[in-house]
């Protein structure tokens, strides 16, 4: 069941949001539940830190809080729930573009002025979330989440060709066929998280076994898809050859 969290400090709209959301999910038998209704962003973040489940968030833009307005709250939520659904509610239509400045990736921006239209938009958001969740469930691929400064990237594990240490300390570079992303991490930590089908072929290189094209045994170098290549340490050479053999590859097929 997907949790819905409401953060709204206008009591009228707080009650309206809860009432209409609960009524609509009951009528349509959606697998959602309102798990939190609060006017305090700190309360929402505290609950979120205890539960990492993907959620739905209805946030007032103009929160009267000393630390967080709606955009700052959305940014914090996005750090902890990268794939959550954020919907802003507000009387300030002109602030909609602020979501881009804060890189929140909000699903919608619902204006409070017309109550009937407001309710209709809430229903449309819930319908759309149901469709998106159903589509995501059909995609059974495993994803790896990378944060590059304020941007969060979700990358299918099968698309990762190689990850290498950066020249800058405490950073690594992730390569797919069409992009490279540099972010803070250690290669050892990444290796522990990704596991299969990745191989640590060198202290500086972690490769996806599925993207290996050839192994130059004499030069201790791997050719990977997308024109990428990397060095293989002598200590890892034998282990790599055994791994390649286990994939029914003969030396003649993998050697240059």
pLDDT for residue 96? 52
pTM for this one?
A: 0.58
Please state, rounded to an integer, the average pLDDT across all residues of the chain.
86
Q: How far apart are CA 60 and CA 7, in angstroms?
A: 6
Burial-class residue 222 by CB neighbours within 10 Å (0-12, 13-18, 19+): buried
Q: How far apart are CA 241 and CA 202, in angstroms?
A: 14
Residue 226 has what DSSP assignment?
G
pLDDT for residue 251? 45
Cβ–Cβ contacts within 10 Å for residue 140, how many?
6
Which of the residue ranges 34-38, 90-94, 152-156 has the most confident prediction, judged by mean pLDDT?
34-38
DSSP conformation letters of 100-169: HHTT---SEEEE-SSHHHHHHHHHHHHHHHHHHHHHHHH----EEEEEETTEEEEEEGGGEEEEEE-SST
Q: Are 119 and 91 in contact (CB under 8 A)?
A: no
Q: Are 207 and 198 in contact (CB under 8 A)?
A: yes
The domains of the chain are located at 2-138, 143-254
Taking residues 237-241, what's their average pLDDT? 81
* Residues 6+ away with beta carbon under 8 Å from 143: 154, 155, 156, 157
Is the CA virtual torsion 82, 8, 51, 108 positive or negative?
negative
Q: Is the pLDDT of residue 51 over 80?
A: no
Cβ–Cβ contacts within 10 Å for residue 64, how many?
9
Phi then psi for residue 181, to 5 deg, are -125, 130
Q: Are 162 and 173 in contact (CB under 8 A)?
A: no
Superfamily of domain 2-138: Response regulator (3.40.50.2300)
| Residue indicated by tokens 């819905």 | 4
Cα→Cα distances 5→17, 35, 78, 87, 167, Å: 10, 6, 14, 10, 42
The residue ranking higher by pLDDT, 126 or 216, is: 126
| Residue indicated by tokens 């009951």 | 26
Taking residues 72-96, what's their average pLDDT? 82
Which of the residue ranges 18-27, 49-58, 68-77, 132-141 has the most confident prediction, judged by mean pLDDT?
18-27
Percent of the chain clearing pLDDT 70 (strictly above): 88
Which CATH number is associated with domain 143-254?
2.40.50.1020
Burial-class residue 242 by CB neighbours within 10 Å (0-12, 13-18, 19+): exposed
Q: Is the pLDDT of residue 153 over 70?
A: yes
Phi then psi for residue 81, to 5 deg, are -135, 75
Q: Are 246 and 209 in contact (CB under 8 A)?
A: no
């Amino acid at each position: 069941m997907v949790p819905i969290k409401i953060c709204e400090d206008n009591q009228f709209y707080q009650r309206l949001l809860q009432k209409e959301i609960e009524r609509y999910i009951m009528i349509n038998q959606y697998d959602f539940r309102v798990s939190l209704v609060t006017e305090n962003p700190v309360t929402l973040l505290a609950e979120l830190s205890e539960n990492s489940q993907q959620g739905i968030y209805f946030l007032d833009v103009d929160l009267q809080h000393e630390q967080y307005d709606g955009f700052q709250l959305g940014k914090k939520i996005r750090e902890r729930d990268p794939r959550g659904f954020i919907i802003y509610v507000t009387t300030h239509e002109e602030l909609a573009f602020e979501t881009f400045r804060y890189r929140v990736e909000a699903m919608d921006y619902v204006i409070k002025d017309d109550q009937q239209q407001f309710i209709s938009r809430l229903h449309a958001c819930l319908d759309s979330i149901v469709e998106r969740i159903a589509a995501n469930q059909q995609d059974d691929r495993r994803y790896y989440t990378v944060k590059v400064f304020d941007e969060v990237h979700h990358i299918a594990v099968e698309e990762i060709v190689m990850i290498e240490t950066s020249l800058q300390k405490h950073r690594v570079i992730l390569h797919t066929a069409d992009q490279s992303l540099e972010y803070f991490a250690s290669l050892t930590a990444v290796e522990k998280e990704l596991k299969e089908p990745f191989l640590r072929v060198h202290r500086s290189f972690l490769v996806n076994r599925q993207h290996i094209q050839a192994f130059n045994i004499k030069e201790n170098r791997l050719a990977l898809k997308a024109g990428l290549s990397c060095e293989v340490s002598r200590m890892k050479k034998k282990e790599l050859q055994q791994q390649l053999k286990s994939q029914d590859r003969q030396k003649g097929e993998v050697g240059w």
